[in-house]
Structure 1
Amino acid sequence: MTHAALALPSLPPGVLLEAVSPGLDAAVALAVVVPTFRRPALLLRTLTSLGAQDTKRRFAVIVVENDAEGRAGLEAARPLIEAGTIDGMAVVAEARGNCSAYNAGFAAARRILPRLETALIIDDDEAAEPGWIEAHLSALERFGADVSGGPQVPVFEEPGREALADHPVFRPPYEASGPVQALVSSGNVAIRARVLQRMGEPLFDTRFDFTGGGDADLFSRCARAGFRFAWCHEAAVHEVVPARRTEFSWINARALRNGALSTLVQRGRDGRARTLAKSLALALAAPPRSAWAAWRSRSLLIGLYHLQIAAGRLQGEFGRVGEQYRKPDSN
C-alpha cells in the first residue's frame, strides 16, 4: 500500500477527535466503526477480536465513545490506539443515543479516510470471528450487494438460558447466505461507501436514538434508493446477553418495541392507510399464528411473539414506542 499523509479535517459539531494511532494511513479504504457506551471490558473483547482478524487488508478501527461524561470506553481503548496496537482513532459523540454514535463514526471515517470504500459496524458487546471482515467483503462481491448483514449469535451470561436462542428476539432473520430483500439490524453489517455518499448525513435518523429502529429505517430508505442487500451467514459475531435480557419483562418490552417500530418504518415508506391496514391484518392473524408457533416450538414464550408484535404495531399507530435505550442500566 502506498502511504498517504493523514489529514485531520474538522469533524461535525459534537464529534470530538480524541486519539489517533501513529501510523494511520489516509489510503486505508476499510473502516470498522465500534460504538461504545459504559462497557469498557466488553469493548476490549471486541477490539481483541478485531486484532485477530484473518485478513491481509489494512483497516482502521473507529471507536465512538457515546458517554461524553464518563468516557470509560475511550480510556480503555486510548492506550491501544496511541500505541498503534489498534490502527485507527477514537472519537466522542457528545449527543447520546445509538444513532448519534453511528453517525459520528461514519462522519469521522468519511472525512479522515478519503479513499474509504467499505465501512463495517460491530457493537461493543460483540466479538467477531477471525474471518468476519473477509466474509463480509466476499459477500458484497459475490452477491453484488451494497450492504451485507450477518448473524449476532447470543452468548447468554446466565447458565441454562441457551434455549432462548430460538426466540425471534435473539434468532438471526436468515439461515443461509445470499441476496435478501431487507436487513433490520446494524449491529453486524458492512456498507459500501457509495451508500454513505448517496444517503448523506446524518445517515441514521436520530429520532430513533433511544427507541432503536434507526437501522431498519435506514435500510428501508436504502431499499427505496435502489441499493441491494445480502446476508452473510459466515460473518458471525458473538453477542453477550446479560441476565436481565433473558427476563420476561425485557423480552416483552423488546417485542412490543419491535412491533411499534415496524409501524413507524412502514408508515414512512407506505403511508398511514396501508400501514394501518397491515397492523389490523396482523392483529387478526396473531392468535392462530401464536398458537401454531407455541405448539411447534413447545415454548409459550416464543408463541407469544406474534401477539406481542401485533400489540406493538397497534401501539405504534398511536405513537407509543418504548425507549429501551433511555435507561441503559435496565436495558
Structure 2
Amino acid sequence: MNRAAVVIGIPTYRRPLLLARLLDSLAPEIDGQDVLIVVGDNEAGTRAAEVVRDSGLDAVCVPVPRPGISEVRNELVRAATRERPDWRHLIMLDDDGLVTPGWFAHLMAGVDRFGADVTAGPVLGELPAGASLLARNSVYAGRRRHPSGPVAMLNGAQNICISRAAVDAIGDPWFPVHLGTAGGEDHFFFREVLDQGGTLAWCDEAAVTEPTPASRLATGVILRRAFNSNVVAAQTDRAFHGRAFVVKHVIVGTGWAARNTAAGLVRRDPDKFAATAIDLVALGGRLVGLVRNTPRRPGTPVSDRRSQT
C-alpha cells in the first residue's frame, strides 16, 4: 500500500508530557515512512503546538476550540483531508498511549490483509503497583482482545485505522457531536460504518500500551465508567437497531453474569467476582440506556436520525 497516503490523528487536551511520550514512541515506527501526524488540540493553546514542533516529526497541530472529543475527532478528519487530500488511511491514537515496537508495520499489514473499513489493535492497560482487585479486572487493565480477523464490533477509538472509503460513505460529521462530552462517540461511529455496509477487523499484533494513573482507579470511578459508557452504548444500539436488539444483549449479558457468579462461587475466585460486579453495573447502564433519550445539541436537526437515540 501507499504509505504516503497514511495520516495519524491524535486528539489531546492538557497533557503535553503524555503527548510528547507518544510522539517519541512513534518516531522509530514511522522513520523513513511518508506519514503525516495531525494533533487536534482541544485546549486550543500553545503547549501542544510546542510539543509537536519540538518532536521533529512531520506533524501539524490544529486548535479545536469547541469542547468535546467528537469535535476533535471530526476536525482530525477534516485536517487530514486539508493537509493530505489523497490520504487513504487515518490512524487514530489517544494522547495517553504508547505504541509498541513493530506496531506500525503490524497494523498496516492487518489493513492490507483484511481490507476492512476500520482495523483496530489491542490497548494493553498498565496499572500502578498496588492496584485494587476491581482495577485489575476493569477496562483499565486491558480492553477485550480478539484473534486477528473480521469482527462484529470494536471497543474504542484508541489504536484504530479508518479507511477513506468509510469516511466518504458517512460524511461530515463522522463522530456524533450530539453526545457532547458524554463519550461513546467511538461506538456510534462503528455503528455508522456497519450501517453503511462497511466492515471491521482486528489486528492483535499491533499493540498500544496505556498507563493508567491512580486517580482513574478508584472504585467509584471504575463503576461510573462502566455504567455511563453502557448507557450511551445502549442508546446508540437502540437508535440503529431498535429496543429488541438492546433487550437481547441485556438478556445475554445477564446469562453470562450468572454463569460467572456461579463459577466464582465454585472456584472461590475473587477475580470472577470483581469482573462480574463490573458487568452487573454495565448491565444496569444498558437498562437505563434502553429508556433514556440522548440530549441533542442546540441546532441539530430533529429529523436527523443520528441526532436522536
TM over 0.5: yes
Please give the secondary structure, in 2, of the residue aligned with 1:210. Answer: coil
Letter in 2 for 1:230: A
| Distance (Å, rounded) in 1 between the aligned partners of 2:219 and 2:137 | 15
Q: Does 1:253 align with 2:224?
A: yes
Partner of 1:189: 160
Partner of 2:129: 159
Q: Does 1:277 align with 2:247?
A: yes
Q: Is the 8 A contact 2:117 2:193 kept in 1?
A: no
Letter in 2 for 1:113: R
* Of 13, 27, 30, the match for 1:37: 13
Kindly provide the CA deviation profile for residues 259-312 of structure 1, in whole angstroms up to 9, marking residues without a partner as x: 21221111111123x146336635754751451464465223212122111111
| Distance (Å, rounded) in 2 between the aligned partners of 1:282 and 1:249 | 25
Partner of 2:114: 143
Kindly provide the CA deviation profile for residues 83-117 of structure 1, in whole angstroms up to 9, marking residues without a partner as x: xx110211011111111111111100012201101
Residue 197 of structure 1: how far off its partner (Å): 1.3
Letter in 2 for 1:301: A
Q: Percent identity?
A: 28
Residue 216 of structure 1: how far off its partner (Å): 0.6
Partner of 1:131: 102
| Distance (Å, rounded) in 1 between the aligned partners of 2:86 and 2:24 | 25
Please give the secondary structure, in 1, of the residue aligned with 2:210. Answer: strand
Please give the secondary structure, in 2, of the residue aligned with 1:238. Answer: strand
TM-score w.r.t. the length of structure 2 is 0.85
Partner of 2:270: 298
| Distance (Å, rounded) in 1 between the aligned partners of 2:27 and 2:250 | 48
| Distance (Å, rounded) in 1 between the aligned partners of 2:162 and 2:246 | 32
Letter in 2 for 1:76: V
| Distance (Å, rounded) in 1 between the aligned partners of 2:51 and 2:245 | 45
Partner of 2:258: 288
Letter in 1 for 2:26: L
Q: 1:100 to 1:91 in 2, by over 3 A?
A: same
Structure ranking higher in helix proportion: 2
* Of 1, 26, 31, the match for 1:50: 26
More divergent stretch after superposition (286-295 vs 115-124): 286-295
Residue 182 of structure 1: how far off its partner (Å): 1.3
TM-score w.r.t. the length of structure 1 is 0.80
| Distance (Å, rounded) in 1 between the aligned partners of 2:205 and 2:37 | 21
Aligned-residue CA RMSD (Å): 2.4
Q: Does 1:238 align with 2:209?
A: yes
Kindly provide the CA deviation profile for residues 29-85 of structure 1, in whole angstroms up to 9, marking residues without a partner as x: 1100011101100000011011121664210000110012x44323322333xxxx1
Taking the TM superposition and a 5 Å limit, the aligned residue runs for 1:1-331 are 28-53=4-29, 56-68=32-44, 70-80=45-55, 85-156=56-127, 158-161=128-131, 164-168=135-139, 170-272=141-243, 274-275=244-245, 277-278=247-248, 281=251, 285=255, 288-292=258-262, 294-295=264-265, 297-299=269-271, 300-319=273-292
Q: 1:185 to 1:249 in 2, by over 3 A?
A: same
Kindly provide the CA deviation profile for residues 195-224 of structure 1, in whole angstroms up to 9, marking residues without a partner as x: 111111111001233121111111111112
Letter in 2 for 1:309: A
| Distance (Å, rounded) in 2 between the aligned partners of 1:288 and 1:117 | 45
**Uncovered stretches (5+) of structure 2, i.e. residues with no partner:** 295-309
Kindly provide the CA deviation profile for residues 189-248 of structure 1, in whole angstroms up to 9, marking residues without a partner as x: 011111111111111001233121111111111112111111111111111201022111
**Which runs of 4 or more aligned residues in structure 1 lie more than 6 Å from their structure 2 counterparts after TM superposition?**
none
Residue 167 of structure 1: how far off its partner (Å): 3.0
| Distance (Å, rounded) in 2 between the aligned partners of 1:206 and 1:293 | 41
> How many pairs were matched up?
289
